[in-house]
Structure formats: C-alpha cells, structure tokens
Amino acid sequence: MYVYEKVRAYIDEHGYKQVTIAQRAGIPKNTFNAIMNGKRTLYADDLRAICLALNVSPELFIEVRRVC
C-alpha cells in the first residue's frame, strides 16, 4: 500500500473531510485531491503538513527501519 493510500484510508476511517485537512495543511484542495488519488507525488513536505493537520506522526504512514 502506498503512503498516500494509507493517508487517505486514515482520513476516511476517522470521518475527516479531505477539504478540511487540505485547508489545515495549507495545501490547495485540487493539489490535495490529486495527491490522495495518486495523480501527484506525495512529497515529504506535504506529508509533514498533512500529519500536522491530523496531529499524528508520519511514522503512522511510513515504515521506519531502525539500524542498530
């Protein structure tokens, strides 16, 4: 599952409106829609803004491997 799919699923599961998250994240709604539909790349800065808007850690959506 791609990161944008995980973000979209989280938004849907929690009953958030995509337009509300886009506004909170400071991302134009057309751009946000394109990201959530896989038509535009989800950049790290976008993910950071979305996570701040959702008040969650990016690690919720990405697998972080720790090297010992």
CATH code for the domain in which residue 51 is found: 1.10.260.40
Q: What is the pLDDT of residues 25-45, one digit of tens each?
A: 999 999 999 999 999 999 999
**CA 24, CA 51: separation in Å to the nearest integer?**
10
Total tally of structural domains belonging to the chain: 1
The answer to whether residue 30 sits within a structural domain is yes
The answer to whether residue 68 sits within a structural domain is no
The answer to whether residue 44 sits within a structural domain is yes
**CA 51, CA 19: separation in Å to the nearest integer?**
15
The answer to whether residue 66 sits within a structural domain is no
pLDDT for the residue 67:
78
The answer to whether residue 18 sits within a structural domain is yes
**CA 20, CA 65: separation in Å to the nearest integer?**
31
Percent of the chain topping pLDDT 90: 90
Q: 23 pLDDT exceeds 80?
A: yes
Q: 65 pLDDT exceeds 90?
A: no
DSSP output for 32-67: HHHHHTTSS---HHHHHHHHHHHT--GGGTS--PPP
Confidence of residue 63 (pLDDT cuts 50, 70, 90): confident
